[in-house]
A and B are shown apart, each in its own frame.
Chain A
């Protein structure tokens, strides 16, 4: 834990990446999408931003062709960076950069439970995922859980759950209680930081849900390593930019 804290100091002082795995580049664009005049230009600007950051920060060129494994060297490729749009009626547009490292992303789990497995089955699935992951995803982690929807929706909301600040609870009491219960239980496993044993295995557990088909119960786990890097900027109608996180 001491190394983690010293590393954050060194990285801040020198403006260096916290971790050599600077991730693949996932964006969430939330707000009034009418503020985007041209989606082609908007997405080109995001791609240029990723290209520039890769060269100048620098970031590690991580994006490769999934089969040939060829690395173009600039983190740009088919469907990458990946942009999620969340339209709202707000008077602003919020762009969140959410780089995702592979150590934690590789610890993703998805299962179509049967409705009869219910809440018990969900808890079992999440606990098993945490135990299977062990120290591999750079514990202590944040675990995002997506319940319901369809297979893709479950994983999508599990990832969205990771965007919620640590310590913040789901607005619904029953879900908030489930989060606390899972948090306490996983920290009792003894996996510990980096899987070397100890009391802190997860920093938080965030659960999101969606209604699902009466005949199914999808559940997904997406993991975030302790670095939890993200940065957001809100752009208002008048062109004002406000950095909201990061």
Chain B
């Protein structure tokens, strides 16, 4: 397992180097986006329009942070951990293909169509520890802005600057491998024994 530190934007070459289980630390601009961002970005795409930020070669963070304006009127990150990525399963393959995202940070993994889209377009899924939001918040040094705040604080696109954000575990690589698929297979193999334990 190798360890990498990258600065955004990411190149396809960087992303293709990664294999499941590798550890990544990130610097630079990261965009948050979850349910509403996916829904509305894909609606815009259908009309041939683009969302207010350019996701090409960038990192999308499945996260609805807690934000607060300080006394100078500047936004600060209070807590920012990953949300459950599987909610975005249905729109993510198209989103990756259309907008050219290079990496997604989330938790819990994503389904096979996303694994395939990541292989095709050169993108990776980076797993962050869910619930460890105070730790992650300390890695966001600056807030560069916010778009779509009218969807509410959790559903907006927050433009955050990360410094040494990690450790992030490569959960899905750009070669069609997924830790989550591997664990699922392992769970299936163990299921018979577990059912015997319960007498079912």
Contact = CB atoms under 8 A, between A and B. Distances in A.
A7 B200 contact: no
A126 B154 CA distance: 31
A191 interface: yes
Interface string A99-117: 0001100100000000000
Interface string B107-122: 1110000000000000
Give the one of A11, A124, A135, A189 with max B CB within 10 A: A135
Contact of B66 (A3, A22, A102, A120): A22
Given A11-B134, A225-B131, A20 B193 contact: no
Contacts of A186: 194
B187 A131 contact: yes
Nearest to A8: B134
Interface string B188-200: 0011011101111
Interface stretch (A56-64, A86-94, A164-172, A233-241): A56-64
A20 B79 contact: yes
Given A181-B197, A196-B127, A17 B78 contact: yes
- Number of chain A interface residues as a range: 35 or more
A60 B134 contact: no
Contact of B190 (A14, A17, A19, A190): A190
Given A19-B81, A188-B194, A195-B183, A7 B135 contact: yes
Contact of A189 (B83, B87, B190, B199): B190
B84 interface: yes
B76 to A, nearest CB: 10
A31 interface: no
Contacts, number: 170
A16 B136 CA distance: 11
A224 to B, nearest CB: 11
Contacts of B14: none
User: Which of B109, B134, B135, B171 counts the most chain A CB atoms within 10 A?
Assistant: B134
28 contacts: A3-B132, A3-B167, A4-B132, A7-B134, A10-B135, A10-B138, A17-B79, A19-B79, A20-B79, A21-B81, A69-B36, A71-B152, A120-B199, A124-B200, A127-B198, A134-B183, A136-B84, A181-B198, A184-B197, A185-B194, A188-B194, A189-B194, A190-B186, A191-B183, A192-B183, A196-B169, A196-B183, A197-B182
7 closest A-B pairs (Cβ-Cβ)?
A71-B152, A7-B132, A11-B134, A138-B130, A3-B129, A136-B108, A20-B79
Given A3-B132, A17-B66, A18-B132, 20 more contacts: A16-B133, A19-B131, A20-B133, A21-B83, A21-B133, A60-B64, A60-B79, A60-B154, A61-B154, A69-B151, A71-B154, A103-B130, A124-B198, A127-B198, A185-B197, A185-B198, A191-B187, A192-B183, A194-B129, A197-B182
